[in-house]
Structure 1
Amino acid sequence: MSTQPAGAMPAPTNQSRRAAIASFVGTTIEWYDFFIYGTAAALVFGPLFFAESTPFIATLSAFATFAVGFLARPVGGLIFGHFGDRFGRKRALVVTLVMMGLATTGIGLLPTYASIGFWAPTLLVFLRLIQGVAVGGEWGGAVLLAAEHAPKGRSVFYASFAQLGSPAGQILSLLAFRLASLLDKQAFLEWGWRLPFLVSAVLLLVGLAIRLGVEESPDFERTRREVGAAQAPIREVLGTSLKPLFLAAGANTMGIASVYLFNTFMIAYTTQYLGIERATILDALLVGAFVQLVMTPVGARIAELIRNERLFLQLALVWAMLAPYPLFLLVDTRAVWAITLGLCINIIGVATFYAVIAGYVANAFPTRVRYTAISIAYQFCGAIAGGLTPVIGTILAEQFRGHWWPIAAFGTTLALISFVCVTLLAGHQRRASALAVAA
């Protein structure tokens, strides 16, 4: 499936660039907020908010609250998908950014179990729900704001700017916790862990200033003028696009779950089961995030040049199926260089896949209901593949102590699911195009 016109690539306009930058900055902030929760869940939330549990149960409970955010993401996708398809992408994205910033800052101010007992984990879950709703509405709108402002034939590449927010947010979150980890253990547990959350208040102001300077999506405005905005986009999507909706959800599996298997869970696995220092794994993950940041636009550009996104995605997924085995083999050595190398090898397939999947999936749906459709697909996948991944990883690590291969096989399974759905989605689109031509 190709979205590229013949000849040279058209030059981007000022609004194209501005929309791409706004999508990148906005998603960076949103993912920073979302990721610092995952890092804190792996490092401190267990003893601070579930103090009366055993270390295993406390970690599992902390990851369970992490999963709660994923369960809220489909709700955010439904709410803001509807809002974005009816009233515009920009308005929806301003609201999601404010919600995320306030919820994350709130977590940084939250008393612990030692101070208020049962109310500490209760409030933590509530604020995590707000985070989940916000990020659930953010992704689809950010992808479309960039893609629908893109020059003709370049929507997949421009959509990748929203995807850049994931590694950038990961880098910022790791840097924040790396700096906080320079404190002694007692200070870190008492107040140092709060600093990354409180920084979100500043990032919120920066993100709003940039996002408010972008015009509404020209595709959305044109569709609203010509056929009118969808009055019930959820019902329209479920009534006309159910099969591609399920395939799009499955296609996103690897892009979502890999972050939480090879980042969030990896922190707990290496520190608790292999005895690796917290600073060591954070440094290795930081290098991996920089590799992802570089490989994301490289992958998007290669896919654009070969003019076959399906084939590119399939090749990236084959890499992703194989990479977990050298990754865990290298991590098991406990050597810093080996852990870093393993993470970098693994991230190449994941990053290039993630760069292209957003635009590929967005092109499967009409503009009129596109925000709703891709939000439902991505966020329902996120609720399952993302939220449960660190929980499943923790259970596998506990049940197969001393053996890494079950976790690697789990990673391969996730990539295989995406491979099958990407292939089937391409076939569905070919048949839909043929029927449209015949009609």
Structure 2
Amino acid sequence: MTASSAAPTATTAQVLNSPARVITASLVGTTIEFYDFYVYATAAVLVFPSLFFPSNNPTTALLASFAVFGAAMVARPIGAIVFGHLGDKKGRKTTLVISLLTMGIATFLIGFLPTYHSIGVLAPTLLLILRLTQGFALGGEWSGAALVATENAPAGKRAWYGTFPQLGAPIGFIIANGLFLIINWALPHPTDTLLKSEAFLGWGWRIPFLFSAVMVIVGLWVRLKLVESEAFKTAEKQGAIRKVPLGETLRFHWKALIQGTFIMLATYVLFYLMTSFTLTYGTAASDAAVPGLGIRYVDFVLMQILAVVFFGILTAVSGPLADKHGRRFVLIIVTTAIIVFGLTFGFFLAPHGDLTTAVTIAFLIVGFSLMGLTFGPMGAYLPELFPTNVRYTGSAIAYNVSSILGAALAPIIAVALWTAANGSTWLVGIYLAGASVLTLIALIVTPETKETDYDAASR
């Protein structure tokens, strides 16, 4: 290859997309996307069981709510295929704008849904449709944001740049749950447990969904200012763009798809256990049929928000570590730590008398810290498994198929295991440890990608 035909360097790309623009576009978009998802996850615990899935058995209503929550994960691989196709054929920018707009509209409309008491079974049906739309949109969001960040990264800093879209997860969590806390504080209610005042159940729960419209407008404004990455432009100039990127991916990169799917598994299971399940378990009454910790909702969410700060900090720290020591090495160490952490559930995530709050806070901080360390390098590691011409499709499918195996099933399996163990969480921890063993095996058989030629149009 001659000097004139060589792929442009990262420095050239930065002239078009400045570091500030790249960081802002990848961070703001994923923050909004994760905010939308967290708003639903919180409502799935607090209000949807009674408003959309009324039942004489609270556990049945909760499982039905979680089932719709998990259904979105099934739609995510479909979104990954559709948006991956667009992203690998038409470019990253257009695809990112469409995915963000789709997610925002679905979330906004949930805020207007009538409940089961108004229109019967049509209410949960409409909720399911909009939830599937959310999942479809999220299927294309993460990979596009990760590619915008890493394809514009300076040499030797891909993993660090790849952490910026990952930071959308903790930031979105804090904004979503912080908004629910503000609503709880502002609305009158007899007690502050579970936010089940008449005002909140009547209309207060809708505010976070409607508020997403404001955030989407901001996100669209940022993303419309992006310029297409040089890596994608180079692939176009070299004629490497494929008519059917999915076919190319399945035919030549199936092994990387399987590896990437299982590399993400432990991350997904850990994440949804630390968010949805711990909120359910932590706020369940200690004298209930399936006992929990009996911590007030407001107190527990504040504990989670404190721990999520460590999630964000460790996500940022993980990028430089992965750039220095390699993605695979860092993730093997962290995944081993997650296995050990899972084995501690039965003891640490349990009542401890006057020390319950302190022990639970420590447990949440450790769990979310491990989440940051495992989630951060994924922004670079998964895209690096694929060449430019199928990078969007490949990384999106691996990331989102893993969401079915991990995130879709995690809350349901966790509640079932918690119930089977009569309120103990030790089986939930074993479940996390088992998923992490599968991730560890995938990491061992997957090569390091730190030195991968990221400008390669195809390989």
Normalising by the smaller structure, the TM-score range is over 0.9
Q: What does 1:130-145 align with in structure 2 at a 5 Å threshold?
A: 130-145=133-148
Q: 3-state SS of the aligned residue for 2:205?
A: helix
Over the aligned positions, Cα root-mean-square deviation in angstroms equals 2.1
CA deviation profile, 1:245-267 (whole Å, cap 9, x unmatched): 10110001122222211111111
Deviates more, 1:258-267 or 1:132-141: 258-267
Asked whether the 8 Å contact 2:344–2:429 carries over to 1, the reply is no
Show structure 2 runs of 5+ residues with no match: 1-9, 190-196, 285-290
Structure 1 residue ranges, 4+ long, deviating more than 6 angstroms after superposition: 9-12
Q: How much has 1:104 moved relative to structure 2?
A: 0.4
Residue matched to 2:75: 72
Residue matched to 1:333: 351
Q: How much has 1:319 moved relative to structure 2?
A: 1.5
Q: How much has 1:112 moved relative to structure 2?
A: 0.6
Q: How much has 1:10 moved relative to structure 2?
A: 8.0
CA deviation profile, 1:146-205 (whole Å, cap 9, x unmatched): 100111232221111111111111111111222222232221111111111111010011
Deviates more, 1:308-317 or 1:126-135: 308-317
- Structure 1: distance between partners of 2:55 and 2:381: 47
Asked whether the 8 Å contact 1:15–1:214 carries over to 2, the reply is no
Matched, 1:158 2:158: no
Matched, 1:250 2:252: no
- Structure 1: distance between partners of 2:148 and 2:242: 18
| TM-score for both structures, normalised by structure 1 | 0.92
- Structure 1: distance between partners of 2:91 and 2:338: 36
Which of 90, 94, 99 is matched with 2:97 structurally?
Answer: 94
Asked whether the 8 Å contact 2:348–2:359 carries over to 1, the reply is yes
Which of 300, 306, 314 is matched with 1:287 structurally?
Answer: 306
Q: How much has 1:324 moved relative to structure 2?
A: 3.2
CA deviation profile, 1:412-439 (whole Å, cap 9, x unmatched): 1122221111121117x79x99xx9xx9
- Structure 2: distance between partners of 1:225 and 1:165: 33
Asked whether the 8 Å contact 1:328–1:342 carries over to 2, the reply is no
Matched, 1:263 2:263: no
Residue matched to 1:3: none
Which of 27, 35, 46 is matched with 2:49 structurally?
Answer: 46
Identity %: 35
- Structure 2: distance between partners of 1:327 and 1:172: 27
Which of 327, 349, 352 is matched with 1:309 structurally?
Answer: 327
Asked whether the 8 Å contact 2:100–2:141 carries over to 1, the reply is yes
Q: How much has 1:81 moved relative to structure 2?
A: 0.2
> What letter matches 1:103 in structure 2?
A
- Structure 2: distance between partners of 1:328 and 1:217: 48
- For this pair of structures, how many residues does the alignment match? 424
- Structure 1: distance between partners of 2:306 and 2:347: 18
Residue matched to 2:374: 353
Structure 1 residues 373 and 53: alpha-carbon distance in aligned structure 2, compared to 1, 3 A threshold: farther
Q: 3-state SS of the aligned residue for 1:150?
A: coil
Residue matched to 2:394: 373
| TM-score for both structures, normalised by structure 2 | 0.88
Residue matched to 2:407: 386
Q: 3-state SS of the aligned residue for 2:423?
A: coil
Asked whether the 8 Å contact 1:326–1:342 carries over to 2, the reply is no
Asked whether the 8 Å contact 1:15–1:215 carries over to 2, the reply is no
CA deviation profile, 1:120-150 (whole Å, cap 9, x unmatched): 1000000001100000010111100110011
Q: How much has 1:326 moved relative to structure 2?
A: 4.3
- Structure 2: distance between partners of 1:50 and 1:109: 17
> What letter matches 1:266 in structure 2?
T
- Structure 2: distance between partners of 1:389 and 1:297: 25
- Structure 2: distance between partners of 1:328 and 1:29: 34
Residue matched to 1:217: 229
Asked whether the 8 Å contact 1:327–1:343 carries over to 2, the reply is no
Q: How much has 1:276 moved relative to structure 2?
A: 2.1
Which of 326, 337, 340 is matched with 1:319 structurally?
Answer: 337
Matched, 1:115 2:127: no
Show structure 1 runs of 5+ residues with no match: 1-8
Q: How much has 1:325 moved relative to structure 2?
A: 4.3
Asked whether the 8 Å contact 2:162–2:378 carries over to 1, the reply is no
- Structure 1: distance between partners of 2:345 and 2:227: 43
Deviates more, 1:27-36 or 1:407-416: 407-416
Asked whether the 8 Å contact 1:31–1:166 carries over to 2, the reply is yes
